[in-house]
Structure 1
């Protein structure tokens, strides 16, 4: 019995030593296995965080109101992709920011000038005139059409023979008519009839035309002095009046004369001519100055009128009218 107990005790001791040795071996292998098991995890997390997007940013400060040169932009790979951002420098180059952009700022669509202003050619201005169904060709005008602008100038009822109608501006592009404009045309594939019906639902009150800056004075004075009429024309019709057949209208402001020895200055053009302006009288008379009645005497017979003071006199009173002056002569 004592021998059996000793044998069991020896077996337990050997088993304890074996387990201790096995535990010691496991303890040495655990760090290596843990390092190997945990090794790919940081790489996976890092791969997920390194997802980047190409974004166009300002390479230097961009002032508002000035076209962006191509060398002022660069593409950076960012971890964010802002809505409306550009991926290509060529797409954003030449656009005009509406606010100052600092260096490194992503350039986005809502930070740049857009809308009708981008549809105006260099040297043109968008000018709105009053419109109605008759003036707007029965509301058949569409953005992008070309029209001739005629003007009707009416004199008073006693001088009807001086009323006139003539071509004021030729082949001007319609940028907008009512609620429709060239920057908001319905996309291809939409129901054109539905779009036209929606436009007719609200009568047009204005028409916006693209006009060279030196002709804006004609349009604004014509709109204020008479009635304008738009005449729709075929866009393939390129005919225009010959400017050599008519003398240029004088300007309201006279340019400074060249000094002795200086070269003769060229005629005013563009913004300089717009700055010089135009008078309504020159527009009406073709540059002949204010409308003047013929220098003829109009004789009107009148009954004798006694004066308040002095002896009563009888005879005829004749009113002589010369231009804007009126004079009464007693006979």
Structure 2
């Protein structure tokens, strides 16, 4: 029994020595690096491997409403690729931003003027007029077509002979008709994907009109009925503007000062600002051609015939007709 106890005690002593030696060996190894240090060391490696994208940015401030010059753009490598960004500067030269853009700002499609305004040429304006099936050639007019605009002026039943129809504008481009437009905007579609832009009756037609003809179109729509006449796009014929005198303007330009050369005829925005009057537009500027029915009493001329009769003369003016009645 005593020998067994000695054996167990010896085994425990040896086990204690072994554990003490193992503990000493572990104390000699260097401690592992802290987790924070390992994470900090791995961050630069991840940053270096992050992908970059070519994005066009503003090289200098770009004011809204002004065309972008080619030297105001540059391409930078960014770690982000915004939706609507551009990779090249060439397509952006001449585009117009709708908001002010600071230097270094990425240019996005939504920040630039788009839509129907880009289809209007310099010196033209997009003007909408009322449309229906008859006016729009049975709704067969499509964006991009060329049309002649005729005007029908109908007088009242008493002076129906004074009604007139004439060509108002020749070879004008249709920018939009109803919901269809030349700017390429997606039209309405049904659940099967079929276009619905022709299903609805067109209520407006948008025409590209020279700015100095907008007054004529506005007066014509307000005074009578417009009619679009569809024409072949290869037909380039137009009326000779020299055959008829220009209509007088509603505003008279300031006469030149003494010694100054005569001013050139009004054109473009200047003529548009001068405007037109409804009377001159209807009559073609003919003096006295459009007067309300009035009656005027004139004193008899001092002639032998009127004196011998001893009566008065009354001149009755009805429109462009005049009649003298003696009594």
TM range (shorter): 0.7 to 0.9
**Structure 1 residue 47: deviation in Å?**
3.0
Using the TM superposition, give the Cα deviation of residue 291 of structure 1 relative to its aligned residue in structure 2, in angstroms: 2.9
Cα offset, 1:88, TM superposition: 1.1
Using the alignment, how far apart are the partners of 1:117 and 1:294 within structure 2? 43
Contact 2:283 2:290 in 1 (8 A): no
1:183 aligns with 2:183: yes
For 1:244, the equivalent position in structure 2 comes to: 242
Equivalents in 2 of 1:245, 1:225: separation in Å? Answer: 24
Q: Normalising by structure 2, what TM-score? A: 0.77
Change (3 A) 1:51 1:113: same
Aligned to 1:255: 253
Deviates more, 1:257-266 or 1:145-154: 257-266
Q: Per-residue deviation at 1:90?
A: 1.5
Return closer, same or farther for 1:329/1:150 CA change in 2, 3 Å cut-off.
closer
Q: Cα offset for 1:289?
A: 3.5
Equivalent in the alignment of 2:220: 222
Partner of 1:45 in structure 2?
Answer: 46
Deviations 1:238-272 (A, max 9, x none): 10001121211111111111112112211111001
Unaligned runs of 5+ in 2: 1-14, 33-37, 188-192, 297-311
Q: By how many angstroms is 1:76 displaced?
A: 1.6
Query: Taking structure 1 as reference, are residues 40 and 261 closer, same or farther at Cα in structure 2, changes over 3 Å only?
Result: same
Q: Judge conservation of contact 2:97–2:113 (CA < 8 Å) in 1.
A: yes
Is this contact kept in 1: 2:279–2:290, CA < 8 A? no
1:100 matched residue in structure 2? 100
Alignment-derived partner of residue 118 in structure 2: 118
- Contact in 1 for aligned 2:59/2:74 (Cα 8 Å): yes
The reply to whether residue 321 of structure 1 matches residue 319 of structure 2 is: no
Q: C-alpha displacement at 1:170, in angstroms? A: 0.2
Q: Deviations over 1:215-234 (max 9, x none)?
A: 11110001111111000000
1:210 aligned to 2:208? yes
* Superposed displacement of residue 40, structure 1: 9.6
Distance (Å, rounded) in 1 between the aligned partners of 2:39 and 2:101? 45
- Superposed, which structure 2 residues align to 1:55-74 within 5 Å? 55-74=55-74
SS of the equivalent of 1:200 reads: coil
Write the mapping of 1:16-31 to structure 2, written as runs, cut at 5 A: 27=29
Structure 1 Cα separation of the partners of residues 160 and 47 of structure 2: 88
Do the aligned partners of 1:282 and 1:290 also contact (CA within 8 Å) in 2? Answer: no
Structure 1's 222 and 74: CA in aligned 2 closer, same or farther, altered over 3 A? Answer: same
1-structure distance, mates of 2:253, 2:313:
46
Q: CA separation of 1:24/1:284 partners in 2, compared to 1, >3 Å: closer, same or farther?
A: same
Give a deviation string over 1:56-110, Cα, whole Å, max 9, x none.
1122221111111122222221111111111111122211111111222111111
Structure 2 vs 1, CA of residues 296 and 115 (structure 1 numbering), >3 Å: closer, same or farther? closer
Tell me, in whole angstroms, the C-alpha distance in 2 between the residues paired with 1:255 and 1:128.
Answer: 29
Question: 1-side partners of 2:159 and 2:179: how far apart?
Answer: 40
Cα deviation for residue 323 of structure 1 reads: 5.4
Query: Which piece of structure 1 moves more, 92-101 or 39-48?
Result: 39-48
Match of 1:308 in 2: none
Aligned CA RMSD, in angstroms, stands at: 4.0
Q: 1:279 aligns to what? A: 277
2:207 and 2:157 mapped to 1: Cα distance?
32
C-alpha displacement at 1:46, in angstroms? Answer: 3.1
Task: State the alpha-carbon separation in 2 of the partners of residues 38 and 104 from structure 1.
Answer: 32
Count of aligned pairs between the two proteins = 302
Q: Which residue of 2 aligns with 1:163?
A: 163
Deviations 1:279-331 (A, max 9, x none): 11111111113534699999xxxxxxxxxxxxxxxxxx99751357x999995
What SS class does the counterpart of residue 71 from structure 2 fall into? Answer: helix
Match of 1:310 in 2: none
Structure 1 residues 94-103 or 283-292, which shifts more? 283-292
In structure 1, the partner of 2:153 is 153
Q: What are the ranges of 5 or more consecutive residues in structure 1 without an aligned counterpart?
A: 1-11, 32-36, 188-192, 299-316
